[in-house]
Structure 1
Amino acid sequence: MAGVYSVTQVNSYIKSMFTQDFLLRRLSVKGEVSNCKYHSSGHIYFTLKDSGGTLSAVMFARQRQGLKFRLEEGQQVVVKGTVDVYERDGKYQLYASEIELSGRGDLYLKFEKLLRELEEMGMFAAQYKRPIPRYAKTVGIITAPTGAAIRDIMNISSRRNPYVQLVLYPALVQGTGAKESIVKGIRTLDAMGLDVLIVGRGGGSIEDLWAFNEEEVARAIFACRTPVISAVGHETDVTISDYVADLRAPTPSAAAELAVFDYARFQADLAMRRQKLYREMAFHLEQNKSRLKRTELSLKLHHPSHQLRENEKRLVDLEERLLRQMKGRLERDRSRSMQTEERLALSMDRRLEADKRRLALLSQRLWGLSPLKQLSRGYGFVTDEDGKRLQSVTQAPEGSLITVHVTDGRLKAKVLERQEEQHG
């Protein structure tokens, strides 16, 4: 068979045709951003669309460095770049080198308009938000019967609490008839008297999520008597359902975490509360026992017989204390008397010894001054007949009687001759 080509050859040929087309090498394309995704590598993958079609596009990390704003869904932009074929997949796409804002997309403008209208009506007010029950037993789910959202909700619910009953209303979540299906699901499950409802779906483009931006869905959530958790798309996706619901969950998985309580933790909390209750009961019981004992003791203490015994005991104690005090005082007085006598005797002995020493000293001094001491050395003194001491030879005339005093007596003498001597 002639003219048979491989897939690679065909893709390579088509790529060469794109490369040779001067228009596709440098062109500007205007459209609305949709299905925008930021890759961990830094690349941005998105779709440009208008009323007649879509065009896949990518901006690589190198070109993204010159981007002056954050590319988001619903933006009207002008993209400059090259249209080329990705040979491996055989798909053509726009490789963006520059992106400029051109205005807001139609869906985004519609979203903002409805958001303002509902806010002015007060449908987002905190006063209308109902609390999510802490221990829900039945959880209603309005979402597609297949897909990641319902699988995530069921898996997390089963793990957290297998005893919680899940009631699914299989609804269309995008495309024709989606808003009507969601509204019917909300009303049907609300009439069942369940504890809480989850309304949501998995991620997607703004077009995929648009059913949750419809006014009919918002009003159905607002009118619902059952608390509603909105769980639409990923954490970065925000819809009008999120604003009007009683609680917004960033993902369906998070909604399951919020709606279904953790049974194991509940059991642990219950056991802890039970222990705390037992401890408090035991504490209060001990307090009451102590209070009863104190009351009983107080009654005994105030009884007349007890008072009499206490007075007798105090009297005996007082008597014993007085006797001990008197005995102690007598002992102290006796001890002080003996100490005084000892100190007095010692003082007298010391005084007597001191007086003896002083007397001996005075005696020595007096003896040193006594004439008798001089006489003991061989000296003597002379008195006349009248006993008057003679100091000069002129006081004793010749023939007069005199007395010579010596250490052991007196000598009577008569003056035979006087001899005067002159001293220096």
Structure 2
Amino acid sequence: MNKPIRAYSVSQLNRYIANMFAQDFALSGITIKGEISNLKYHSSGHIYFTLKDTASQISGIMFAGDRAGLQFKLEDGMSVLCTGNVGVYERGGSYQIYAKSFTADGLGDLYVKFEQLKKELSEMGMFDEMYKKPIPQYAGKIGVVTAKTGAAVRDIIQIAKRRNPYVDITLYPAQVQGEGSAESVVRGIKTLDLMGLDVIIVGRGGGSIEDLWAFNEKIVAQAIFDADTPIISAVGHETDTTIADFVADLRAPTPSAGAELAVFDINKFFDDLSGYRATLDAAMSEHIQDERQRVSMYKLKLNRHSPKNILNEFQKRELMYKNELQKLMQDKLLKEKERIKEYDEFKTIMKDRLQKFRNRLRDYEHLPSMMKQSLERSKHRLLLQTEKLEAVSPLRKLSTGYGYIQKEDGGKVSSVKDVSIGSEITTTLKDGSIKSRVESIDGGSING
């Protein structure tokens, strides 16, 4: 007979494994070295992360209550030493490290110090653009704070002399690496700052973060910030960044670039001068030509306004006016002669007209008798015409017993054909009118 199989629940299994982890002293207070990734600061205050190396990874959490021991802010990519307990997350069936503290590992310690100092100085305003001094465009006296030997100083001197062989370079041989290097750099900055130079280059060649660390010290940053002379930071390679770069008035990616930024190219300067001279010569030539034209114009104006020219002009005008006056007087005299001639002719015409008028006036002396005779003749003609009108007057005929007959519509009746039996007619007599109705019509002629 087969024995019954004993089965465990998932929760029982995970709880059993969790107890095994809890009883293993090697997993309690263990320190793990790794790189931070998948970092998340949760709103609850917990910190979730993953620790990894080149071959493996483990999840982790730091509870909000354990964050008091964290002296810096975690970031992805940071190399750390994480101390805590490895345990099982029973609900998910996975194990993870419950972190109690973090320590920066190797370069991580310097990185933390760098970020902390950067944040501090930024909050103090030492990186603000308002404090940046302009680099002189034509610097003649250059100070250099760097090691007295090495590629950095050689490159700076070589490039500076190539760009301007007349530049005056003052080197302060500073210790730029190791213990006491920051203090040495500070002394160099302060010494050169008192010499009245145009600009100071502070830097060194490339190296590790430890090699460049002197330029990440607060005393160096303060010395650069306090200097009255403009300072160019030229530390390491182009990818290297130091605190000195943020505080300096100008950052150069390399010492060679620092020399190019500080020292102007004298050949280009001479070329520019030649260009400026050519431009100035052209402008001066144009200006001189304009001034010559103005002088010529002023000469013409002076000639026009000279007493001699003015007198000549007046004489010309006098002669012109005299000729015009003579012509006007001749014209006027001629017109007056013509007017006198016309007046004589007018007198003759008026004399003839006066004689004619006198003759007509003598004729008008017989006018009353002539008018009386004409009036008598007109009265006689009027009487004749009146008698003729009375002879043909309808009223005269009516007074002799005749009448004037009209139809109902007012039309005249001149024939029996104009009326019919029963028509109403109106007969007008000398003293009134008679309305009557036609009873019969006789078509016989009066003459017949």
- Calculate the TM-score normalised by the size of structure 2: 0.47
- Calculate the TM-score normalised by the size of structure 1: 0.49
- Bigger Rg over Cα: 2
